[in-house]
Amino acid sequence: MPVHLNQRLCVEEDRGAELYAKEITALVANASFDLVLLGMGTDGHTASLFPHSENGLEGAQSVVLTESPVKPHQRMSLSLPLINRAGKVFVLVLGKGKHNITSLISRVGHEPRKWPISGVSPGSGRLVWYVDYEALLG
């Protein structure tokens, strides 16, 4: 991802997101990855898609700029629509600190504005969660 252009990090005028989206279109058949590997933050974020943000959710461009609550604040991310076009999506969740969010996400429906990970739903239906013992049972 071209996140550092003109000695600045993820500045919209640098058009890094647009450049990366064009690269994906040129290099990835049908702009559909075979596999996307994601993690999940303790707040339910995934990729660099954070709760209470509109960027990267439904109807979004394939690559978006986002803002993180922690440094570095400026981020670039694949959007949920692009993630959901993948042939397979794997979510890796590790550690005791992920127990509460893992339990919560297992109960909520599709609410990506609150918990972006809940919006991960590949059209192929191939979503695989890899959750370690500590994240699952605390």
Q: Output the domain CATH number for residue 75.
A: 3.40.50.1360
Q: What is the pLDDT of residues 122-131, one digit of tens each?
A: 998 799 999 9
Is residue 6, in this structure, part of any structural domain at all?
no
pLDDT at 111: 94
Domain that holds residue 114: 32-137
Domain count, the chain: 1
Question: Taking 80 as the threshold, does the pLDDT of residue 60 lie above it?
Answer: no
pLDDT digits (tens, 9 = 90+) for 64-121: 999 999 998 999 999 999 999 999 999 999 999 999 999 999 999 899 999 999 999 9
Q: Is residue 59 part of a domain?
A: yes
H or E segment and range at residue 65: strand 63-67
Q: In what order do the strands lie in the sheet with 35-39?
A: 35-39, 88-93, 127-131
Beta-strand pair 8-9/4-5:
antiparallel
With respect to residue 25, please indicate whether it lies within any of the assigned structural domains: no
Q: 103-125 as b/e, with b when 16 or more CB fall inside 10 Å?
A: eebeeeeeebeebbbbbbebeee
Task: Determine the pLDDT at residue 55.
Answer: 82
In a domain, 16, yes or no: no
